[in-house]
Amino acid sequence: MKIIESPAEMQRFAETARLRGEKIALVPTMGYLHEGHLSLMREGRRRASVLAASVFVNPTQFGPREDLASYPRDLQRDCRLMETVPVDVVFAPRPESMYLAGAQTWVEVTELTRGLCGAARPGHFRGVTTVVAKLFNIVKPHLALFGAKDYQQLCAIRQMVRDLNFDVEIVPMPTVREDDGLAMSSRNTYLSPAERTAALSLSRGLEAARRAFVRGERSSTVLAAAARRELEREQGVGVEYVEVRDAISLQEIAAVSAPAVVAVAARVGGTRLIDNIVLEPVPK
Amino acid sequence: MKIIESPAEMQRFAETARLRGEKIALVPTMGYLHEGHLSLMREGRRRASVLAASVFVNPTQFGPREDLASYPRDLQRDCRLMETVPVDVVFAPRPESMYLAGAQTWVEVTELTRGLCGAARPGHFRGVTTVVAKLFNIVKPHLALFGAKDYQQLCAIRQMVRDLNFDVEIVPMPTVREDDGLAMSSRNTYLSPAERTAALSLSRGLEAARRAFVRGERSSTVLAAAARRELEREQGVGVEYVEVRDAISLQEIAAVSAPAVVAVAARVGGTRLIDNIVLEPVPK
């Protein structure tokens, strides 16, 4: 497994591979890998001849009061996990080589990023789309895999790819969960045992919404309330939002008549967690 | 000479060429070609094995009160001129295939685009960098050629390429002028004979600044005033700005101690014209 730090070297590696006729898959990560990341990598392995993964805690997607400094990092451990896939090439740049002095260019998806996490995290998605555009230009993938856990991010990246004509296929992959339902996240390592238990209210809330949906409920307000009830029942969980939105446009909807996402964000202790499920009405 | 309208078809053409080992040069234009465009194309021809040119009057770089509707267009004439170079492939998309319904992604270079033309044309450079990013992803060039007449645009595109890691070499080319000094521009066709004469004050003003510089003048204020005097002497010329700035950062400077650009914008009748020269102090 090759480890590359320099963007220019990564670009040369990618260009040479493309000229050889290789098909490159990219899994962009912030490291501290869990089974969710690994499921993306295994799917990338299956679909491409060269599997690249990036490990980069991207400073521009963190707000000034967020956890950039404390975000967990362990490249050695990540590399051991990636060897098992196996990943062919790891791109692990330093922040100063990704953002040169005087950098001032942003890629911004406007409408999709306004609500949900975008409301509480101004600038977050601008940082995400900018770094993903950079990674696409550096790693030159034919396809890139993203987890559905970061649902709004997935929508924003798909929109960016379409709007800027990136020749990259975006492959969404289902959220991977712990046995008890908690969506996997590198930030789960922040949780104390008590918080870990309280955090289950997110997936439980989404399950409650799904059960109501399966029973025939279609009102967004009622479905969101069913999820919210589970979250508010739990001590020490601060709900940021519970929303039912169109699964593609992320627009607000009154009732579920097309695929919809139920998305939640909550603080559990000092940790901000998100989760979502997609509800798919059976076509008539 | 192949003419392609569809972004997807252009992308396939470019990818196939790259896989054959071709080197692609791109000259992005808004059409209504003049000798300035053709000089870019001839240089592209010399440097690459596949010469692509785009002809697209990009709506997102025009303000609501600007000349999008009246901007001159004549693709047949443009094609005859491009055949003489010869250009290999012309990408001439329709606006609705470049900006799909729901498009909402912008590429923005912030600091470099604030002053000069950016001050009078809010959103202009955002439209330029967005469409150039799209063209790079569609035409997949190894190099792209831009004229120095649109100096701030050239700076913004260079910055975007660096900041977003586009693997594209930007080749700047000198402004091409009419025999009497007027910088070539598709908008020169708007000028009446009297305006055409008045428009010469732009290049005359820049020449006056250059002469003062050659005589040893280094003060930005004095150099700008020398240029402005020529413009203000002319009836029917409305000066928008005359500025001396650092040639790379476009920051304001008090004195010229490193390469500097003298940039002017003025209205001649209803037509907005720009021009510039670069002053290069001899290194000590």
**pLDDT tens, residue by residue, B241-263:** 999 999 999 999 999 999 999 99
In contact, A186 and A32? CB cutoff 8 Å: yes
Question: Which of B102, B129, B137 faces A165 most closely, judged by CB atoms?
Answer: B137
B154 and B71 in a common domain: yes
Nearest CA in chain A to B129: A105
B250 — alpha (psi -120 to 50), left (phi > 0) or beta? left
Return the residue in A164, A170, A249 with the most chain B beta carbons within 10 A, the one to mutate for interface testing: A164
* Domain end call among A130, A146, A173: A173
As a whole number, mean pLDDT of residues B215-240 equals 97
Q: Nearest 5 degrees, angle CA A157-CA A161-CA A164?
A: 125
* B41 in any annotated domain: yes
**pLDDT value of residue A282:** 84
B31 and B169 in a common domain: yes
pLDDT at B49 over 70: yes
**Distance from the A138 Cα atom to the nearest Cα atom in chain B, whole angstroms:** 6
Angle between the A124-139 and A151-163 helix axes, to the nearest 10 degrees? 60
A110 and A14 in a common domain: yes
**pLDDT tens, residue by residue, A24-48:** 999 999 999 999 999 999 999 999 9
Q: Domain count for chain B, please give it.
A: 2
pLDDT at A191 over 90: yes
Provide the CATH number for the domain around residue A29. 3.40.50.620
Beta bridge partners of A219: A255
Beta pairing class for B260-268 and B237-246: antiparallel
**pLDDT tens, residue by residue, B117-146:** 999 999 999 999 999 999 999 999 999 999
Sort out which chain A residues have CB atoms less than 8 A from B110's CB and list them. Answer: 104-106
Is the peptide bond preceding residue B86 cis, with omega within 30 degrees of 0? yes
User: 3-state DSSP call for residue A130?
Assistant: helix
Q: Which amino acid is at A199?
A: A
* A284 in any annotated domain: no
Sort out which chain B residues have CB atoms less than 8 A from A249's CB and list them. Answer: 102
B100 and B166 in a common domain: yes
Distance between CA A113 and CA A104 in Å, rounded?
Answer: 20
As a whole number, mean pLDDT of residues A114-127 equals 96
A109/B111 CB distance under 8 A: no
Q: Among residues B165, B275, B116, which one has the least CA distance to residue B124? A: B116
**pLDDT value of residue B284:** 61
**What is this model's ipTM?**
0.97
pTM of the model: 0.97
B193 and B60 in a common domain: no
Percent of chain B with pLDDT over 90: 99
B147 and B23 in a common domain: yes
Q: Among residues B184, B175, B161, B67, which one has the least CA distance to residue B112? A: B161
A252 and A123 in a common domain: no
* B101 in any annotated domain: yes
Distance between CA B87 and CA B45 in Å, rounded?
Answer: 7
* A282 in any annotated domain: no
List residues of A with catalytic annotation. 37
Q: Among residues B42, B47, B43, B49, which one has the least CA distance to residue B14? A: B49
In contact, A44 and A51? CB cutoff 8 Å: yes
Average pLDDT, chain B: 97
**Distance from the A154 Cα atom to the nearest Cα atom in chain B, whole angstroms:** 14
Percent of chain A with pLDDT over 90: 99
Return the residue in B126, B137, B155 with the most chain A beta carbons within 10 A, the one to mutate for interface testing: B137
* B284 in any annotated domain: no
- Report CA-CA distances (Å) from A153 to A170, A194, B171: 12, 29, 35
Q: How many residues does chain B have?
A: 284
* Domain end call among A113, A139, A173: A173
B195 and B78 in a common domain: no
For residue B84, the enclosing domain spans 2-173
Distance between CA A157 and CA A146 in Å, rounded?
Answer: 9
**pLDDT tens, residue by residue, A218-274:** 999 999 999 999 999 998 999 999 999 999 999 999 999 999 999 999 999 999 999
As a whole number, mean pLDDT of residues A75-84 equals 98
Beta pairing class for B271-279 and B260-268: antiparallel
**pLDDT value of residue B282:** 84
A217 and A85 in a common domain: no
Q: Nearest 5 degrees, angle CA A135-CA A141-CA A147?
A: 75
* B178 in any annotated domain: no
A235 and A164 in a common domain: no
* B65 in any annotated domain: yes
In contact, B201 and A170? CB cutoff 8 Å: no
* Domain end call among B173, B206, B241: B173
Which residues fall within 8 angstroms of residue A92, CB to CB, at 6 or more apart?
A3, A4, A5, A31, A54, A55, A56, A75
What are the structure tokens assigned to B178, written together?
């009419």
Q: Which amino acid is at B150?
A: D
* B281 in any annotated domain: no
As a whole number, mean pLDDT of residues B4-31 equals 98
B69 and B168 in a common domain: yes
In contact, B203 and B177? CB cutoff 8 Å: yes
Distance between CA B284 and CA B279 in Å, rounded?
Answer: 15
Provide the CATH number for the domain around residue B271. 3.30.1300.10
Give, for A238, the enclosing helix (H) or strand (E).
strand A237-246
Sign of the Cα pseudo-torsion (B126, B132, B136, B137, in order): positive
Pairs of CB atoms within 8 A across A/B: 92
B107/A106 CB distance under 8 A: yes
A134 and A265 in a common domain: no
pLDDT at A284 over 80: no
pLDDT at A283 over 80: no
A165/B138 CB distance under 8 A: yes
